[in-house]
Structure 1
């Protein structure tokens, strides 16, 4: 297709490259929640917002919020954006691309006003690296982030004190909550997976963000000598855990849309000539439909119990997290499909297996996500990449989405 804004597409890519340089670790992209280089990120994006004539503030949660007013004092607000923090040794596009594209979409208006305001959000925290809990930035917009203020990082610093150190007022956190009529939220994000690349498509419309359970399992047997203990008299915790790992994989392979992962395993005592007496492992299970995930989990845990019993091993299960699936708003999804079709692009639907700020915002307003192809399916890695033409396609779809939404009168304030 013809790229409608070739210079603006390059501006987006250049901005991502510049922002990648604001890091706490030279030679790597590492910018966790409230890290000092976040000031540099804010300054760079503030300069862009000022050139566009937007109003700018950093709220009490550290979110950068840049606003382009709509027609009339009571116009609803469409929120655009993503997160500014990264995992350690990250790539240049996770989160950042969605924020930068938000400013680019305002620039496509050429100074025109819409029936709704646009507010570009650069969320302060999504990854949850520093405090072990995600979405402080977006939860602040919902007014529910307060309990997180007492969390402490690895150095013992409370989150509220980190806000003060950054130059913010933790007591003003309630002021970050959304006020006024919220029209909805659109997040453009790299896919972080291989589905679009396998389909040969540049963009995709997210159907839902998968729900997930995370659990820890502890298999306890008896450590004993590897050479002197007959096979039938062993209580091998690792043998039971290994059967569980394979069962989790087999269940997910046989259940459409289900993914199950055992990503961590701690084997004790951990010697080559000792039968493992204890194994602790994780389980992460996800699906776009809660009923499928919740139906699969009890059977899998029952299998784990059976594998343990067969080997004279006990099993303890500790739930760590449960998140419900978040369907994206059907009318916003339909507009994204129409926008892509109008731009001459294929527009497959896909499920997000990763969590995003959109799942938080969806609790307050209609929310939608547009995915951009991730070459190699790679993310959370320094080799994370995008294709120039894919960024152009995302910009074209986003621009058309705004026009379609405006033509429908801002969904009549939905």
Structure 2
């Protein structure tokens, strides 16, 4: 059960507002697919592409699938000054080697992946434009400057538009991981903590949003804005969940420096206005 810092659960907060979260009550709130025409989401890009091309809006063709792993590397804890280098079972340097390998794998997947029934040339090609891999957390135990750590854990976040390609990357990383750990005489374990399949936006909605963006920008500037970009989203969005209910489309809005999840996140008022005009133009096509 999810709790806030004060110890109050979501269910408890709802109950205090006279909302009972029983399965029966929640099922009554459930949308039926036939009652929903579609879902359109407007969101900042959270990336630098629109700013780079000098346009405030872009249509989204799909949302990358995601896998998150937790990697644990266990070695032999010891004194930093008394254990010779060639006698160490150091999980920190093993983890460092694994992280550097992950970077190479995700930068050059075609170099590492073999072509077989599970991984075709088209799968590898699709990874070239969407694959990103990140180690966002790393921790060591006992975490003292004069101690060879006994254990290191780190997270791996893998995202790609091609789900089979993402699985191929995870398989290759895991396979190489165990070989590297054996060579360094350390124990390694990989846990899958999260999986979400990629979502392809409805082609019709994407085309309509692209056309609506073009119309809005032309109305605002009085000039031909050129071709509106069609982008892939590497970040997860509500549209991923809504895709199980209905067709989805997304419109991206330019943000300064591609920065998000930071106090430096910023969107121009004029770009927000452009997004609103694009949504209006989109609705006009439905009338």
TM over 0.5, yes or no?
yes
Paired residue for 1:162?
Answer: 13
Structure 2 residue runs of 5 or longer lacking an equivalent are 110-127, 219-224
Paired residue for 1:202?
Answer: 56
Paired residue for 2:207?
Answer: 334
Paired residue for 2:167?
Answer: 294
Question: Is 2:24 the partner of 1:174?
Answer: no
Query: Matched residue of 2:38: which SS?
Result: strand
* Residues 194, 376 of structure 1: 8 Å contact kept: yes
Deviations 1:284-319 (A, max 9, x none): 110111122111111112222222112110101111
Paired residue for 2:255?
Answer: 374
For the structure 1 residues 396 and 168, does the alpha-carbon distance in structure 2 shift closer, same or farther, using more than 3 Å as the test? Answer: same
What aligned pairs does 1:38-187 form with structure 2 within 5 A after superposition? 150-171=1-22, 172-179=25-32, 181-187=35-41
The alpha carbon displacement at 1:153 in A equals 4.3
Paired residue for 1:347?
Answer: 228
Query: Matched residue of 1:170: which SS?
Result: coil
CA distance, structure 1, for counterparts of residue 36 and residue 143 of structure 2: 55
Deviations 1:235-267 (A, max 9, x none): 010001001111122222224221111111111
* Residues 241, 304 of structure 1: 8 Å contact kept: no
Paired residue for 1:191?
Answer: 45
Paired residue for 1:388?
Answer: 269
Q: 367-376 vs 150-159, which deviates more?
A: 150-159
TM-score, length basis structure 2: 0.84
**Count, aligned residues:** 257
Question: Is 2:73 the partner of 1:219?
Answer: yes
Paired residue for 1:311?
Answer: 184
The structure whose RCO (Cα within 8 Å, separation 6+) is larger is 2
Query: Matched residue of 1:260: which SS?
Result: strand
The alpha carbon displacement at 1:151 in A equals 4.1
TM-score, length basis structure 1: 0.59
Structure 1 residue runs of 5 or longer lacking an equivalent are 1-149, 407-414
